[in-house]
Amino acid sequence: MTIDALPTSTPSAEGIDAAGVEAFLDGLESTPGVEPHSIVLVRHGSVVTQGWWAPYSADRVHLLYSLSKSFTSTAVAFAVDEGLLGLDDTVLSHFPELDADVTDPRSRSMRVRDVLAMSSGHRAEALGRALEADPADLVRGFLLTPPEADPGSVFAYNQPCTYAVAAIVQRASGLSLTEYLRPRLFEPLGIGEASWQRDDSGREIGFSGLHAQTEAVALLGQLWLRRGMWQGRQLLPASYVDEATRVQVANPDEPNADWSQGYGFQFWMARHGWRGDGAYGQFCVVLPEHDVVLALTGQTVDMQAVLDLAWQHLLPAFEGPGDAAADDALARRTAALGLAPLEDDAGAAELRAASFVPTSSSEQPTLTLVGLTDEGSSWRVLLHEGDDVLEAEVVLGAWTVTDALAVTAGRRGAALHVDVVFVETPHRLHLVLDAGAAEVRWETTPLHAPALRQLRAPRDGETSPL
């Protein structure tokens, strides 16, 4: 796949040693607990490396989790430029129907710039408290959860902050975030499919839930690297970009080195450059000093390890000079990327059609039954959630892809091991089927999808609980 909005080049032509990029790939693939899904590397405005680890693919969207926040900040930039809101507006001023309910002076004084910078005055994540205060209207619940400190004075990573500013954009524009961004961002940059999770109120949630292709992440980073300029047009106000990508609030107590360098407007400052990121390894890393954008998707709980690998291998590679032989080796490598399927023990017992009941330790409580059926020419696994059934073909020792699922299986002794990858998300479900029982374990636990059928990009009008 090519990114039509950006030219392609070779690493050495852009002053990059491709051997260092390949060493970065080696590190991603060999570090325990890190599972890469895609990479797009852009330098001097040209794509120099891109690849997807099958069964993930370039044409698929991927759940970005909190990297969605950087797209929300982009929507705010447009709304500020169009006069729909101001950074010094109070949040409450955009919800006048709540004026009588919100009596706490700190809640009343909270500004748009405060919530953009995760400095609402709350000292800890307030999502649970806000939902408890009002399960039906998260903005109201947030404003009814009094901050412990003055807005603008302390940092706390806080989902309702982003939700509130996303709700302001949606109210002021009369459009959902995706509808608002389509003609302003997606179409000018050539970003294709994108969809955003909605809550039961019908709002797109802003702080998470955006599904988009890896190229969208790279294009967003390139727009911000160019301070809002795109192909001769100033799409975003440069003044907003400059504010959003500098420290708005200090956060020295964050435990990881690249999370303790300060926070901007829905962007993290880092030891090198700045970035948007999302749970389990979704990254948009912008390195102005190297004129580089790095877009990554994957699955890990050790996101610092991914950045450490980037600093270790990519920063020296950006010093070049590189050569054609290393370029060619990297191109061959990225063309053949893939996640290993499960191995099959050829001496194991034959497959038999059967049903398996999840054990009491199952990590997916909605899963009520796992079926294995013989269709004559193929085997299929059926995941039952009450009346809902997800179904996919199973081939031993290989991957099969059905809709938003990829499945691999292998026999180990009497047990059949099945991995189900939800390829529009970072997540992989491990099943061990034996003697009528199913052991069910997540590699990484989904954050917003209580049902397996929700582990894909949302369709028009779909909502799901937070």
Answer whether 253's CB lies under 8 Å from 260's CB: yes
Q: Is 457 helix (H, G, I), strand (E, B) or coil?
A: coil
Mean pLDDT of 257-277: 98
pLDDT at 463 over 80: no
Domains observed in the chain? 12-81+168-335 (3.40.710.10), 92-154 (no CATH), 354-454 (2.40.128)
Model confidence at 461, pLDDT cuts 50, 70, 90, reads low
What is the model's pLDDT at position 3?
Answer: 62
Judged by phi (left if over 0) then psi (alpha if -120 to 50, else beta), residue 77 lies in: alpha
Cis geometry, peptide bond prior to residue 151 (ω within 30 degrees of 0): no
Model confidence at 349, pLDDT cuts 50, 70, 90, reads confident
What is the model's pLDDT at position 1?
Answer: 45
248, 228, 208: which is closest to 116 by C-alpha? 248
**pLDDT tens profile 184-231:** 999 999 999 999 999 999 999 999 999 999 999 999 999 999 999 999
What pTM, to 2 d.p., does this model score?
Answer: 0.96
Mean pLDDT of 368-381: 92
Answer whether 11's CB lies under 8 Å from 48's CB: yes
Burial of residue 116 (CB within 10 Å: 0-12, 13-18, 19+) is buried
pLDDT at 465 over 80: no
What does the mean pLDDT of the chain come to?
96
Model confidence at 449, pLDDT cuts 50, 70, 90, reads confident
Residue carrying the six token digits 């796992």: 370
Encoded amino acid at 41, one letter:
L
Residues found in the chain: 466
Mean pLDDT of 356-379: 94
Q: Which residue(s) pair with 422 in the sheet?
A: 405
